C-alpha cells in the first residue's frame, strides 16, 4: 500500500512524513509530485472537513490501485473572533499570503484582546480517500492561549504565538516529536494510523 500526500505545503509534508515514519506502519509515503503534481483545488468549503475531502478526492483520481490519498486541512480558531480565521487561516492576510504575513496580522488584530480572553485552538482534519473509493475523516484539536509576542523558532504558521493549555512553551519552542505528541495534527494522525491498520487487514 502506498500513501500520497495531497498538499503542496512543504512544512506539512515534513510533519506528515515524520509522523507516518514514527508510526512504523511500513508503507511507502509519496508526495503528490510522484503522480504528476497536486491537481488545482479551490478551497471554497466552509469547513475543514469539506476542504480536506476536496483535496483528497482530487488526488485520488490519479492514484494507483494500491494507493490512498491523504489530505490535511487545518487552521487556528480564535475565541474572541468567533472562531476566525478558521478555514481562512492560510490566507488570513490575503490570497497567497506567507506564514509571516498571517502571523503579523494575527498579532496586530489581537492587540486589543485582553488577557484572560485570548483563548483559541488549532484544528486539523485529515481526509483519506482510497483508489477504490473508501473515504474517512480524522479529527484533532488542541486548546491554547494566543500570546502577544512570538516565541520559538520551530514549527510553522501560528506556532510562535500558540501556547497549549498546561504548557509553558509555545508549539514553536517544542521539538518536533514533543509537538507531535500533543498537536492537533498529531492527534488526527494517530486516529488515521489506527484506521489504516484495520483497513489494510481488510484488503
Which residues are annotated as catalytic? 73
Give CA–CA dist 55/108, Å, rounded: 31
Helix (H, G, I), strand (E, B) or coil at 60: helix
CA distances from 149 to 107, 117, 159, 170 (A): 7, 16, 11, 11
**Alpha carbon distances (Å) from 103 to 9, 98, 110, 127, 180:** 17, 9, 11, 26, 21
Cα separation of 137 and 50, whole Å?
10
Helix, strand, coil % (nearest 5) of the chain?
A: 40, 25, 35
DSSP 92: T
Residues 173, 160: Cα–Cα separation, whole Å: 7
Interatomic CA distance for residues 183 and 185, integer angstroms? 5
H/E stretch holding 87:
none
Amino acid at each position: 500500500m502506498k500513501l500520497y500526500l495531497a498538499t503542496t505545503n512543504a512544512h506539512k509534508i515534513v510533519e506528515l512524513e515524520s509522523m507516518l515514519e514514527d508510526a512504523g506502519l511500513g508503507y511507502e509515503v509519496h508526495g503528490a509530485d510522484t503522480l504528476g503534481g497536486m491537481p488545482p483545488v479551490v478551497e471554497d468549503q466552509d469547513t475543514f472537513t469539506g476542504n480536506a475531502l476536496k483535496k483528497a478526492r482530487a488526488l485520488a483520481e490519479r492514484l494507483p490501485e494500491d494507493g490512498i490519498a491523504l489530505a490535511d486541512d487545518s487552521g487556528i480558531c480564535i475565541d474572541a473572533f468567533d472562531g476566525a480565521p478558521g478555514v481562512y487561516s492560510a490566507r488570513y492576510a490575503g490570497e497567497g499570503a506567507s506564514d509571516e504575513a498571517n502571523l503579523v496580522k494575527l498579532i496586530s488584530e489581537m492587540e486589543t484582546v485582553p488577557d484572560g480572553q485570548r483563548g483559541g485552538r488549532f484544528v486539523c482534519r485529515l481526509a483519506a480517500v482510497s483508489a477504490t473509493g473508501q473515504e474517512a475523516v480524522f479529527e484533532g484539536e488542541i486548546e491554547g492561549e494566543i500570546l502577544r509576542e512570538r516565541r520559538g523558532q520551530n514549527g510553522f504558521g501560528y506556532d510562535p504565538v500558540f501556547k497549549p493549555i498546561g504548557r509553558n512553551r509555545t508549539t514553536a519552542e517544542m521539538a518536533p516529536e514533543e509537538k507531535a505528541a500533543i498537536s492537533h495534527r498529531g492527534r488526527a494522525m494517530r486516529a488515521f494510523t489506527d484506521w489504516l491498520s484495520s483497513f489494510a487487514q481488510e484488503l
